[in-house]
Amino acid sequence: MPLQQRIKVLIADDMVELRSNVRRMLSSAENILVVAECEDGEDALKKVVEFAPHIILMDINMPKIDGLKATEMLAKDHPEIQVVIMSVQSEQEYFRRAMKAGAKDFLTKPFSSSDLIETITNVFNKWVKDRPDFQLTEHNAQVLTFFSTKGGVGKTTLAANLAVGLAQKGKKTLLIDVSLQFGDVAITLNLKPSRSIFNVVDKEEQVTAANIEKNLTQHPSGLDLLLAPLEPAYAEAIKPAHIKSILELMIPAYQYIIIDTAPKIAEIELALLDHTDILFLLATLEISSLKNTKMCLKTFNDIKFDTSKIKLVLNKDIPNVGIGPADIEAGLAIPMFAVVPMDSGTAQKALNTGEPFVVKFPESSLAQSIEEIMKKILPAEEMAKKPLPKKSAFFKIKDLLTGSVS
Ligand X SMILES: Nc1ncnc2c1ncn2[C@@H]1O[C@H](COP(=O)(O)OP(=O)(O)OP(=O)(O)O)[C@@H](O)[C@H]1O
Give residues in contact with ligand X (CB under 6 A): 151-157, 179, 184, 263, 315-316, 340, 342-344, 347-348, 351, 366
119 or 157: whose CB is closer to ligand X?
Answer: 157
Residue 59: closest CA among 7, 8, 100, 94: 94
Instruction: In angstroms, give the least distance from the CB of 262 to Mg ion.
Output: 7
- Report the residue number, 68 or 273, with the smaller CB distance to ligand X: 273
For residue 145, count CB atoms less than 10 angstroms from its CB and return exposed for 0-12, middle for 13-18, buried for 19 or more.
buried
Residue 351 interaction partner, one of Mg ion, ligand X, none, beta carbon < 5-8 Å per kind: ligand X
Contact between 360 and 388 under an 8 Å Cβ cutoff? The reply is: no
Decide whether 63 or 345 has the Cβ nearer to ligand X: 345
- Quick one: what does residue 402 bind among Mg ion, ligand X, none, with the CB cut-off 5 to 8 Å set by partner type? none
Give CA–CA dist 111/96, Å, rounded: 19
**Shortest gap between Cβ of 209 and ligand X (angstroms)?**
28
d(CA 207, CA 176): 15
| Nearer to ligand X among residue 153 and residue 197 (C-beta) | 153
Residues 235, 255: Cα–Cα separation, whole Å: 27
Look at residue 343 and give the partner it binds from Mg ion, ligand X, none, a contact being a CB closer than 5 to 8 Å depending on partner kind. Answer: ligand X
Q: Which residue lies nearer to Mg ion by CB, 184 or 382?
A: 184
CB of 229 to Mg ion, least distance (A): 14
44 membership: H or E segment, kind and range: helix 41-51
- Tell the smallest beta-carbon distance from residue 125 to ligand X (Å): 48
Cα–Cα distance measured from residue 272 to residue 116, given in angstroms and rounded to the nearest whole number: 34
CB of 180 to ligand X, least distance (A): 11
Residue 154 or residue 222: which is nearer to ligand X going by CB?
Answer: 154
Terminal C-alpha separation, the chain: 43
Sign of CA dihedral 120, 135, 258, 386: negative
Distance of closest approach, residue 318 Cβ to ligand X, in angstroms: 9
Kind and range of the H or E run holding 34: strand 32-38
| 3-class DSSP state of 387 | coil
What does 174 bind: Mg ion, ligand X, none (CB cut-off 5 to 8 Å by kind)? none
What's the distance, CA 230 to chain centroid?
19
Q: Which is nearer to ligand X, 167 or 282 (CB)?
A: 282
Instruction: Look at residue 252 and give the partner it binds from Mg ion, ligand X, none, a contact being a CB closer than 5 to 8 Å depending on partner kind.
Output: none
Q: Which does 396 bind (CB under 5 to 8 A by kind): Mg ion, ligand X, none?
A: none
CB of 342 to ligand X, least distance (A): 4
Return the number of the residue (148 or 168) whose C-beta is nearest Mg ion: 148
Strands 278-283 and 105-108, by their bridges, are unpaired
8 Å CB contact between 115 and 93: no
Contact 281, 311 (CB under 8 A): yes
Give whichever of 117 and 282 is closer to Mg ion, judged by the CB atom: 282
CB 227 within 8 A of CB 216: no
Residue 166's CB is within 10 A of a number of other CB atoms, namely: 30
In the complex, minimum distance from the CB of residue 210 to ligand X, in angstroms, rounded to a whole number: 30
Residue 315 binds which of Mg ion, ligand X, none (CB < 5-8 A, kind-dependent): ligand X
Which SS3 state, helix, strand or coil, does residue 175 take?
Answer: strand
CB-nearest residue to Mg ion: 156
Interface residues with Mg ion (CB under 5 A)?
155-156, 184
CB 62 → ligand X: shortest distance, Å? 44
Return the one option of ligand X, Mg ion, none that residue 199 interacts with (CB less than 5 to 8 A, by type).
none
- Name the binder of 110 from ligand X, Mg ion, none, CB < 5-8 A by kind: none
Cβ-proximal residues to 291 (8 Å cutoff; 6+ apart), any chain: none
